[in-house]
């Protein structure tokens, strides 16, 4: 069997696994598939097997940052605080959880702390707040001045 056929089969299998298992968002499987496609190109150029592997490896060094940039652009995420954008336009009712106040958003519970600009304001259970940002898992909130319905997600 020709080497380019093996490279192509490997690339297609990796791409299929990426799509089926991770919905096309795995990243690492996508890079491995692209490296295999580079192996196809190297084989079609007539390079020997060692040169094909080296060509695929070097192409991987190029594809990794490119895929990361593309995936960040597509998903709009740059760090673990990706849900802030979805939470920022909603108001939430503070809830008592033991001795601390929390907000429940997107199916998760976050402890809250007032924004330093609103530090003089005491937070109370049932009060409407807006999430400004996160510091670790703690939601930094400010009291909501307008009357709007609480988000119960």
Shared domain for 7 and 67, answered yes or no, is yes
Q: What is the pLDDT of residues 16-72, one digit of tens each?
A: 998 998 777 778 999 999 999 999 999 999 999 999 999 999 999 999 999 988 888
Number of residues that make up the chain = 153
With a cut of 50, say whether residue 149 has pLDDT above it.
Answer: no
Same domain, 98 and 66: no
Specify whether 22 is located in the same domain as 41: yes
Q: Tell me if 30 sits within 8 A of 22, measured CB to CB.
A: no
Q: Does the structure show a pLDDT above 60 at 79?
A: no
Residue 63 resides in a domain: yes
Q: Does residue 150 fall inside a structural domain?
A: no
pTM of this structure? 0.52
Q: CATH code at 93?
A: 2.40.50.140
Report how many domains make up the chain: 2
Query: Are both 59 and 90 inside the same structural domain?
Result: no
Q: C-alpha distances in angstroms, 45 versus 12, 20, 32, 41, 152?
A: 20, 31, 20, 6, 59
pLDDT of 147 higher than 70: no
> In sequence order, which residues have a C-beta less than 8 Å from that of residue 32 and are 6 or more positions away?
14, 60
* 149 belongs to a structural domain: no
For 132, the domain range is 84-143
Structure tokens at 34: 């692209």
Which of residues 22, 53, 75 is at a domain's end? 75
Specify which residues 105 forms β-bridges with.
108
Is residue 114 within 8 Å of residue 121, measured between CB atoms? yes
Q: What distance in Å separates the CA atoms of residue 86 and residue 130, rounded to the nearest whole number?
A: 12
């Amino acid at each position: 069997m020709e080497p380019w056929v093996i490279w192509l089969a490997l690339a297609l299998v990796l791409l299929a696994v990426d799509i089926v298992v991770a919905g096309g968002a795995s990243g690492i499987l996508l890079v491995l598939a692209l490296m295999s496609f580079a192996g196809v190109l190297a084989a079609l150029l007539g390079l020997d097997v060692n040169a094909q592997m080296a060509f695929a490896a070097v192409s991987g060094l190029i594809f990794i940052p490119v895929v990361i940039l593309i995936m960040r652009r597509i998903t709009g995420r740059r760090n673990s605080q990706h849900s802030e954008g979805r939470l920022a336009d909603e108001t939430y009712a503070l809830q008592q959880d033991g001795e601390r106040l929390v907000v429940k958003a997107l199916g998760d519970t976050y402890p809250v702390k007032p924004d330093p600009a609103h530090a003089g304001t005491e937070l109370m259970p049932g009060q409407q707040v807006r999430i400004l940002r996160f510091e670790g898992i703690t939601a930094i909130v400010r009291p909501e001045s307008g009357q709007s319905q609480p988000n119960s997600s």
